[in-house]
Amino acid sequence: MTTLQLADICAAPWGAPLLQDINLCVAPGEILGLAGPNGAGKSSLLKLIAGDLPIQSGELQFAGRPRCDWPRRELARAMAYLPQLSLLNFPYTVQEVVALGRTPHDTGTTCDQQIFTEVMQATDISTLRHRLYTQLSGGEKQRVQLARVLAQIWDSKTSLLLLDEPTTALDLFHQQLVLASVRQLASRGCSIVMAIHDLNLVAGSADRLAVLANGRLAALGTPAEVFTPGLFREVFEVEVLIQQHPDRNQPLVITR
């Protein structure tokens, strides 16, 4: 059974089409990376899956059921979404922000405290737990927000995590740490759809890539299948060299 399936999805919430004829699926434990130039539709697709954008036509199923058939609380226990920008200006502590991710659940204090400990370790914010969120740096806030959405679906048997630029503002160490946490979650069966502008980073993290251009699906496949000089010329309008990464089985994109 696929976790997520989109069939002939179109969206035009403000008149002009944002997404057209999107067909893709995500299996349990699979990481699907979204790539494409600015304005290609990556964020719009994530918002549509999350329910923040209406579907004009087509069908979206989550865990074998139309998303519209899911009760909101039940859906919130299984699907989490991290947007590009998370605005929070209240002086909550870091642990209080992470605890917001457990709002849909009734798992009890003991279980939730264990989850808080695990997700804060996974995002390297354990030492920040008593700090005020408003006093953190941009990168620290990003990791706290990621911990919040991880807490939301950390113990769900069927889960989907949507990430829009999760490595923004992170240094190299924390980029690798965050992606390792994502892979750990995927190894437990969570399906993940994430957009990352760093193409080499997404090529090393995703099982498959969906490349968007002007709201349409331009390519879908493994990183090695998708990342070709021709695709970069057509979609990104740049000339690149594609080589094999010296240490990992992934394509390495080098700008010319």
Q: What is the pTM of this model?
A: 0.95
Q: Which domains, from first to last, does the chain contain?
A: 4-255 (3.40.50.300)
pLDDT of residue 177: 94
Give me the half-sphere count of Cα atoms (radius 13 Å) on the Cβ side of residue 166.
34
Q: ∠ at Cα 143 (142, 146), nearest 5°?
A: 90
Mean pLDDT (10-residue bins), the chain, 256 residues: 94 91 97 96 96 95 94 95 88 95 92 94 96 95 96 92 94 94 93 94 94 96 95 94 86 89
